[in-house]
Amino acid sequence: MRRIWLVFSQTVTVAVALLFVVGTFKPEWLQRGLSPGSVQVLTSSPTSSVPVSLATGGVPNQPLASAARRAAPAVVSVTASRAPASADPRSQDPWFRFFFGQHPARQEPQVGLGSGVIVSPEGFLLTNNHVIEGADDIQVRLSDGREAHAKLVGTDPESDVAVLKIELDRLPTVTLGNIEQMQIGDAVLAIGNPFNVGQTVTSGIVSAMGRSGLGLSTFENFIQTDAAINPGNSGGALIDVNGNLIGINTAIYSRSGGSMGIGFAIPIDLARQVMEGLVTEGQVTRGWIGVQPRDLDPEFAQSFKLPVHEGVLITGVLQDGPASSAGMKPGDVVTRIGDKPVRNTAQLMNAVAALKPRSETLIGVQRGEKALDLKVTVAQRPKSSAPQRNPE
């Protein structure tokens, strides 16, 4: 019995050694015996309908590429030229030239570069106000190489939106998206002409919604994204995975002048509202109720034993203004405009601005322990200058 076991052990050892040698030097001999279909190759076949990107861990990359193809033709490069400051009239005086130089320095025109988005077949474009502000001539270059002079339809410094118009045939357009369907974490693409290197597409996600208090414009409700946005991207498109326009890229947070992964875009619903006003009426009309608001802090709510902890504290009411006529008083806390809750000053300003002048709306306020609904007749917001900002 012992002899049989010894023979068996030696036979198994020799067989394993032989299998190892064959598998190392002639592996194809082992594969001949495998039946078809017993081995699955982890790669895409020529007939595969959806390519798989190994760099993305097997996630299909087709949706982003398709979105870029749909939206990119409608994104243009905008060149805004400003005439140089007028030369000193004394420069032609021989005595002036004798003392201050025979050849006065020649002043070149200032040129600003940005981006824009074609949003209608009629040739209307959306861009930023700071891209074309003060320009004497605006030129637009399409991705297909065509160029055209752009007419300034109107600007709205309070939202940093401008509308241009070009006269060309067969214009590509982008579809306007629905900002209410966007969520934090959704994938987005930023398309523009950074540093004037040519049209560039970068990807990222929506990092935050409703950003305000940045001091970039009067009405702030920015989409924050980590898609790389650099100088020259201003006025370009922020699009979703379906190729729909959801925002106009307008600013970056940067200490060096380059992208640090924090960019801001004007939501398309605000840009569309501004565009409709500029195109149809030549101006943007906004609602106004005549109050001085500030955010409600927990200390104030606790000191006055308010049953609400979110809202906007009214510190002043303009005499004979819409809010005053409706009975609003300093110390009231606004909690709702119509059916929209308001939690901070930016939301209050945006909600009131969206109201039509001469319309009536109910404003929910908390006055001590009492909750009131005040019927306010909205007035038109007076024109005011937008805060200063540093262009990209």
Instruction: Identify the pLDDT of residue 265.
Output: 94
149 is catalytic: no
Sequence ranges of the domains in the chain: 69-83+108-165, 179-280, 287-380
Find the range with the poorest average confidence among 218-222, 232-236, 368-372: 218-222
- Read off the tokens for 12: 């198994």
Question: In CATH, what class is 179-280?
Answer: mainly beta
Domains 69-83+108-165 and 179-280 share a fold: yes
CA dihedral for 49, 55, 61, 67, sign (positive or negative):
negative
Catalytic, 295? Answer no
CA dihedral in degrees (110, 114, 117, 123; nearest 10)? 10
pLDDT tens readout for residues 82-118:
877 655 565 566 655 555 555 545 556 677 889 999 9
The mean pLDDT value for 330-348 works out to 91
58-67 confidence digits (pLDDT tens): 344 568 899 9
- Among residues 77, 159, 234, 259, the one annotated as catalytic is 234
Q: From CA 249, how far away is CA 236, in angstroms rounded?
A: 5
74 vs 44 pLDDT, higher one: 74
Q: Rg of the Cα trace of the chain?
A: 32
Give the Cα-Cα-Cα angle 99, 103, 106 (nearest 5 degrees): 125
Average pLDDT taken over every residue of the chain: 81
Q: Which tokens go with 316?
A: 């002043």
Q: What burial class does residue 376 get, using C-beta atoms within 10 Å of its C-beta: 0-12 exposed, 13-18 middle, 19+ buried? A: buried
Residue 365 has pLDDT above 90, yes or no: yes
Instruction: Cite the beta strand spans of 240-386 per DSSP E.
Output: 245-252, 263-267, 287-288, 291-295, 312-317, 333-337, 340-341, 360-367, 370-377, 379-380
Q: How many residues does the chain have?
A: 392
160 belongs to the catalytic site: yes
Domain 287-380 has CATH 2.30.42.10: yes
Catalytic residue, candidates 77, 115, 130, 332: 130
Name, in order, each residue with C-beta under 8 angstroms of 289's C-beta and a sequence gap of 6 or more.
321, 322, 323, 328, 352, 363, 376, 378, 379
Alpha-carbon distances of 219 from 17, 174, 209, 267, 283, rounded to whole Å:
78, 24, 14, 11, 16
* Cα–Cα distance for residue pair 164/126, rounded to 1 Å: 7
> Quick one: pLDDT at residue 94?
63
What CATH number has the domain spanning 69-83+108-165?
Answer: 2.40.10.10
The active-site residue out of 115, 156, 159, 160 is 160
pLDDT of 216 reads 81
Question: What is the average pLDDT across 219-226?
Answer: 90
Angstrom distance (rounded) from CA 264 to CA 223: 6
Q: Which two tokens stand for residue 94?
A: 């021989």
Q: Tell me the pLDDT tens digit for each residue of 190-207.
A: 999 988 888 999 999 999
